[in-house]
Amino acid sequence: MSSLMGYGASLRYATLQLPRPAGANNHKRRVGRWRSPEAAVIPNFHLPMRSLEVKNRTSAEEIKSLRLITAIKTPYLPDGRFDLEAYDRLMNIQIMNGAEGVIVGGTTGEGHLMSWDEHIMLIGHTINCFGESVKVIGNTGSNSTREAIHATEQGFAVGMHAALHINPYYGKTSLEGLVSHFEAVLSMGPTIIYNVPSRTGQDIPPAVIHTIAQSANMAGVKECMGNGRIKEYTDKGVVVWSGNDDQCHDARWGYGATGVISVTSNLAPGLMRELMLGGKNTSLNAKLLPLIEWLFCEPNPIALNTALAQLGVVRPIFRLPYVPLPLARRVEFVNIVKELGRENIVGDGDVQVLDDDDFILVGRY
pLDDT at residue 15 is higher than 80: no
Residue 11: enclosing H or E segment and its boundaries? helix 2-13
Contact by Cβ (8 Å): 260, 245: yes
pLDDT at residue 32 is higher than 60: yes
Residue 76 is a catalytic residue: no
Predicted confidence band at 57 (pLDDT cuts at 50, 70, 90)?
confident
Residue 236 is a catalytic residue: no
**Could you state, in order of their start, the residue ranges of all structural domains in the chain?**
60-278
**In Å, what is the CA distance from 184 to each residue of 189, 218, 240?**
11, 12, 21
pLDDT at residue 305 is higher than 60: yes
pLDDT at residue 47 is higher than 60: yes
Catalytic residue among 194, 233, 255, 322: 194
Contacts 24+ apart (CB under 8 A), 349-353: 349/311, 349/312, 351/310, 351/311, 352/310, 352/311, 352/312, 353/310, 353/327
Its pTM stands at: 0.87
Catalytic residue among 73, 222, 255, 322: 222
| Higher per-residue pLDDT: 91 or 37 | 91
Residues 118-123: what's their mean pLDDT?
Answer: 98
Residue 364 to residue 347: CA distance in whole angstroms: 29
Residues 313-322: what's their mean pLDDT?
Answer: 98
Burial annotation 68-96 (CB, 10 A radius, 16+ → b, else e): bbbbbbbbbbeebebbbebbebbbebbbe
CATH code of the region 60-278: 3.20.20.70
Residue 265: enclosing H or E segment and its boundaries? none
Predicted confidence band at 31 (pLDDT cuts at 50, 70, 90)?
low
